[in-house]
Structure 1
Amino acid sequence: MPTAKSKARILVVDDEAAQMRALCDTLPVEDYDAVGFTDARSALAELQRTKCDLLLADLMMPGMDGIELLRAAREIDPHLVGIIMTGDGTIATAVEAMKAGALDYILKPFKLSVVIPVLERALAVRRLHLENAELALRVRERTLELEAANRELEAFAYSVAHDLRGPLSVIVGYAETLIEDHSAQWPDQPQQLAGAILASGEHMQRLIDGLLRLSRFGRQPLSKGPVDVGALVGEVVDELRRQHAGREVFVHLGEIPGCVGDQALLRQVLVNLLSNAFKFTRAREKPLVTVIGWTEGRETVYCVRDNGAGFDMQQADKLFAAFQRFHDSDEYEGTGIGLSIASRIVQRHGGRIWASAEVGKGAAFYFSIPD
């Protein structure tokens, strides 16, 4: 790409030798480097040897015309910009030139005052193309760096969580033994302290298990295929009914289209969302859970809605972060990891996940799976 210290290099190709030489002699006066040829093959050989910024080619030439030359030149350098010179200025000519990748065309005979603005516009477009390509490359490199960092972070989290399980199990086990064997002889305060140690240890075990699950779902390879999401929803609802056998939860299942994805992982998304719906409708006299789906553009959207506790949408930006809880643990059990897992699975499918809610009036969770 030409910089402030380098001149743009123009490749001039015209079978009329006098026309070619005139341009090559004149363009350096306007602060361009110019190299000229009277046949397309020689011009392509030059382009193979040396970078050029712009091709200025005659339309009608023997052997290979300007449009064919431009196509061949752009195979060598996709960022090369082209301008066609022609004495046959028809709409068909212009359309054909544009299809070949030409940015503009110039009618013969022409004046240098006409040519220079066209060259400047074309070179400005080339600079933009090169800058965009460089930006895209930096984005790809940065994405690869972030993916590598995420993999390292997941591996670290897995290693730390796995290593913590051993000593934590010892703490919880000793606390249980002390309470079972000696609490009857203790006064109230030691009993309460030992109970607090046991409860905190068990809570930390649940957090570590959640961290391990989150790490596993982040690293587990996708095994995609057709998924009958409606059947999966039915299976999960049946399981939750058995787990909540003492409650009557009304579940409405609407149209639920299928999709292409990892069946086991998408089932986990439904388990997490529906489990929350059952849990947070616990205080409702008539708990209602609705599951529907629809096709929208090139993705399938699913919605799990409940009439439960809801949450404040001002905190929605934290909703899918690990270990975030919007409700008192004394009222609703959980570690705050389920939505993080659901979010990670959906994102690995290239989809989106979001929610809407109102405190005391329920919540709706949406996720999409692209075609």
Structure 2
Amino acid sequence: MNESPSSSRNGDILIVDDQPENLQILFEMLTQNGYEVRRVIDGKQALVAASSEPPDLILLDIMMPFLNGYEVCQLLKSQPQTKDIPVFFLSALNSQEEKIKSFKIGGSDYISKPFHVKEVLARIDHQIAIANQKRQLAKQCDQLEEINQKLTRSNRELEQFASVVAHDLQQPLTSLIAFSQLLKAERGDRWDEREKTYIEGTVEASIRMQRLIRDLLTYCRCDTPDIPLQLTDCNRILEQVLRDLQPEIEAKNAAVSWDILPAAIAEPIQLGQVFQNLIGNALKYRRDDVAPQIHVAASEAGQDWIFCLSDNGIGIPETDFDRIFKIFTRLHANQQYPGTGIGLSICQKIVESYGGKIWVESEVGVGSKFYFSIPKNPEFDPDIN
């Protein structure tokens, strides 16, 4: 007796039992509750039926001729197309040893004969619901993996596009700046005020565009997964950043101090960008009547290093704490505080690519404290030199 499956409301169940009365009882119970049921009377037929059309669940008698239920289950679990099918053992053998054996070879449940119809149905309903959830989850995982692969390809293509565009745009901008400056030098004092305004505006706009392209390119590249991380001495990184910023520090009469910083798992150039952007902002957004005071510190917090850069600048309204990290966000006019509105977005993207986060505490007219965290033991394996 081997019946073919058809469409089913609840699921497809294969019953394997050499006792016709058991087959009939189970068949009637399950079909009345919306299941499609196939019935076979021995292990060989069960293997053929399950392989040709895998059911959602198998009810398998243990004591059968030729192949017993344990042997059938072991063969099912050894085949890729049938290994994930839940198997319920049906048996008059009610010893603890038999039940343990059934679970060890891959059984999902063990139902003792004589069985109670409602109990069997409840167990089957529960197992089918679990199987449906697993299938749905597997389908969603496949869809997410496909989406992730598409995003990875898109990000790679976007990065390549940004590199090409940045290179192709920067060259004519460099020429435009150079020619404008040459033209300005050749004319000397012969410019009238309107012409002077035009040529200076052209140079300034070209320089701003050049800076914007450079910052956009940095933003696109700063979370590239191929960049290896390493154990980085933050003191050396900070010292290099301060050397680069020394002319501006002296021009603003600023005082920069720092505590001894730890070694963190990061990419040195990227970490330097974070320090440089934060210190550069502290120098830029200073109060007119007070010399900038900047301090860099670090502390341990569980599995993270927490870095803090504090200043005595103009401060930031609490309503803008989250907004300032969004790309192109500017709280002030470019004439007052020049910039592209990308610096803090770059910091956030770098820090988050390490598994950390960045945030700010500030009071208008008093100053700001920028914090960022870097995990001491990231989930991925960095290239530690």
CA distance in 1, matches of 2:83, 2:164: 47
Q: Do residues 21 (structure 1) and 23 (structure 2) align?
A: yes
Give the unaligned 5+ runs of structure 1.
none
CA distance in 1, matches of 2:191, 2:38: 98
Task: Provide the residue aligned with 2:120 in structure 1.
Answer: 115
CA distance in 2, matches of 1:96, 1:228: 58
Aligned pairs for 1:315-354 (under 5 A) are 315-354=320-359
Match of 2:162 among 143, 157, 173: 157
Aligned pairs for 1:106-185 (under 5 A) are 106-185=111-190
CA distance in 2, matches of 1:35, 1:187: 97
Task: Provide the residue aligned with 1:223 in structure 2.
Answer: 228
Q: Do residues 12 (structure 1) and 15 (structure 2) align?
A: yes
Q: CA deviation at 1:362?
A: 0.7
CA distance in 2, matches of 1:264, 1:344: 14
Match of 2:201 among 192, 196, 199: 196
Task: Provide the residue aligned with 2:274 in structure 1.
Answer: 269
Task: Provide the residue aligned with 2:383 in structure 1.
Answer: none
CA distance in 2, matches of 1:331, 1:3: 75
Q: CA deviation at 1:53?
A: 0.7
Residues 145, 21 of structure 1: CA spacing in aligned structure 2 closer, same or farther, 3 A cutoff?
same
Residues 161-216 of structure 1, C-alpha deviation per residue, up to 9 Å, x if partnerless? 32222332333223212322225123222222222222112211211222233334
CA distance in 1, matches of 2:220, 2:300: 30
SS in 2 for 1:80: coil
CA distance in 1, matches of 2:284, 2:63: 76
Residues 27-54 of structure 1, C-alpha deviation per residue, up to 9 Å, x if partnerless? 3454433345677787556444322211
Q: CA deviation at 1:4?
A: 7.5
- Equivalent residue letter for 2:53: T
CA distance in 1, matches of 2:51, 2:6: 21
CA distance in 2, matches of 1:95, 1:290: 64
> Contact 2:360–2:368 at 8 Å: present in 1 too?
no
Task: Provide the residue aligned with 1:303 in structure 2.
Answer: 307
- Equivalent residue letter for 1:9: D
Match of 2:36 among 33, 38, 42: 33
- Equivalent residue letter for 1:290: V
Q: Do residues 294 (structure 1) and 264 (structure 2) align?
A: no
> Contact 2:315–2:364 at 8 Å: present in 1 too?
yes
- Equivalent residue letter for 2:280: S
192-201 or 158-167: which moved more? 158-167
Aligned pairs for 1:350-365 (under 5 A) are 350-360=355-365, 361-365=367-371
Q: CA deviation at 1:357?
A: 3.4
SS in 1 for 2:230: strand
Residues 95, 162 of structure 1: CA spacing in aligned structure 2 closer, same or farther, 3 A cutoff?
farther
CA distance in 2, matches of 1:207, 1:63: 75
> Contact 1:229–1:256 at 8 Å: present in 2 too?
yes
Residues 4, 43 of structure 1: CA spacing in aligned structure 2 closer, same or farther, 3 A cutoff?
closer
- Count the aligned residue pairs: 365
334-343 or 33-42: which moved more? 33-42
> Contact 1:20–1:38 at 8 Å: present in 2 too?
no
Residues 244, 60 of structure 1: CA spacing in aligned structure 2 closer, same or farther, 3 A cutoff?
farther
CA distance in 2, matches of 1:255, 1:74: 57
> Contact 2:61–2:69 at 8 Å: present in 1 too?
no
Q: Do residues 51 (structure 1) and 84 (structure 2) align?
A: no
SS in 2 for 1:264: helix
Residues 169, 220 of structure 1: CA spacing in aligned structure 2 closer, same or farther, 3 A cutoff?
farther
Give the unaligned 5+ runs of structure 2.
380-385
Residues 56, 350 of structure 1: CA spacing in aligned structure 2 closer, same or farther, 3 A cutoff?
farther
CA distance in 1, matches of 2:329, 2:342: 7
Aligned-CA RMSD value: 4.0
Q: CA deviation at 1:109?
A: 2.1
Match of 2:372 among 345, 349, 366: 366
SS in 2 for 1:182: helix
> Contact 2:295–2:309 at 8 Å: present in 1 too?
yes
> Contact 1:214–1:340 at 8 Å: present in 2 too?
yes
Residues 209, 239 of structure 1: CA spacing in aligned structure 2 closer, same or farther, 3 A cutoff?
closer
TM-score (norm 1): 0.78
SS in 2 for 1:294: strand
Match of 1:211 among 216, 222, 227: 216
Residues 258, 152 of structure 1: CA spacing in aligned structure 2 closer, same or farther, 3 A cutoff?
closer
TM-score (norm 2): 0.75
Residues 147, 94 of structure 1: CA spacing in aligned structure 2 closer, same or farther, 3 A cutoff?
same
Task: Provide the residue aligned with 2:382 in structure 1.
Answer: none
Task: Provide the residue aligned with 1:258 in structure 2.
Answer: 264
CA distance in 2, matches of 1:114, 1:153: 58
Q: CA deviation at 1:255?
A: 5.9
Q: CA deviation at 1:286?
A: 5.8
